[in-house]
Chain A
Amino acid sequence: MFRPGQRVRVRNPRKTGHVRTPSFIRGKTGVVETWVGTFLNPEEIAYGRTGGPAVHNYRVVFRQHDVWPDYAGSRGDRLYLEVYEHWLEPAAGNLRGG
């Protein structure tokens, strides 16, 4: 489990198929805003495997300048995505935006 405020990196297992973690966010570091709940894994139910287990899902916030090195907007701009737990790994530091 991850906790709000924790820094996390999106993993890049090079998985193919019905993958719901956009490629542009893989390898990027953000901060967990909140735990959203548990859901059946879309990567499984897309293929008719609906038996679970349910997986944790988190709303993660990224600084746009961290996602896109040449981002043209303001420093305060953010990107919010929900990411399933198996796509996340802890990253160094735990201060919001630190």
Chain B
Amino acid sequence: MAAKPKPRKPAARGYYDLAAQAVRELLVEKRVISETEILNLLATAAKRGPQVGARIVAKAWTDQAFKKKLLADGKRALADIGIPFGEAQLKVVENTPRVHHLICCSLCSCYPRSILGQPPFWYRNPEFRSRAVREPRKVLKELGVTVPARTAVYVHESNADIRYLVVPQRPAGTGALDEAALAALVTRDCLVGGAQARAPGRKPKSRA
């Protein structure tokens, strides 16, 4: 006789998960915030993410005038293409064969969240935060980016008033690609200098 499949136990929910739900339900019950407002906020949050950064980078790769504006005044350049940047100022830096930029926040985890959403896991890691300013080349190597000695490494310490975005180097052999195809080459890690944009056809390296 075949063994009966065991009914699957629902995964236990953690304390904070339950507490968050309780607070949410209370806020709605007490009419502090409505369910519709919560859903709208969630919808807005879902629009943020690396795909927004990838779109910005692809546009910078294909539109020199936009790139110039972006590097001069990130916030204004983004407003021009309909991407509101909520918090702080935005400083955009460009990786070239001469300079590789790496962004970190040694004190906390400042990151341009209003466009990119949540930072990569490693970006929030205390070890990354303390070592990125101290030995950036070694840290970059561990992230999979080997920077040749002739290329300078510029580390930018992010903070509450100024956030940073990196335009990675455009991979070779991408001259014929349109903006959408180019954007697909830009991963989340590229946007803070923790990776290179990949050449077309190459699978992105997965990293938590």
Contacts and interface: CB of A to CB of B under 8 A. Distances in A.
Interface of A: 20, 22, 24, 36-37, 39, 42, 57, 59, 64, 67-68, 71-74, 76-82
A36 B136 CA distance: 25
B47 interface: no
Contacts of B62: none
Interface string B149-175: 111111111011110000000000000
B188 interface: no
A37 B154 contact: no
13 contacts: A36-B89, A36-B161, A37-B89, A39-B161, A42-B161, A59-B162, A74-B152, A74-B153, A77-B154, A79-B157, A80-B154, A81-B156, A82-B159
Interface residues of B, number: 23
B67 to A, nearest CB: 19
A74 B155 CA distance: 13
A42 B160 contact: yes
Contacts of A71: 135
A51 to B, nearest CB: 18
B155 A80 contact: yes
Contacts of B162: 36, 57, 59, 82
Given A37-B89, A74-B149, A80 B134 contact: no
B160 A20 contact: yes
List 5 tightest A-B contacts by C-beta distance, closest first: A76-B152, A81-B157, A80-B156, A39-B161, A77-B153
B160 to A, nearest CB: 6
A79 B161 contact: no
Q: Which of A37, A57, A64 has the most CB of B within 10 A?
A: A64
A20 B108 CA distance: 10
Contacts of A24: 106, 133-134
Given A37-B89, A37-B161, A39-B161, A79 B152 contact: no
Q: Which of A42, A67, A76 has the most CB of B within 10 A?
A: A76
Given A77-B153, A82-B161, 15 more contacts: A22-B106, A22-B133, A24-B134, A37-B89, A37-B161, A57-B161, A59-B91, A64-B136, A74-B149, A77-B136, A77-B152, A77-B155, A78-B153, A79-B155, A81-B156
Nearest to B104: A79
Interface string B117-143: 000000000000000011111100000
Given A22-B106, A77-B153, A78-B154, A72 B138 contact: yes
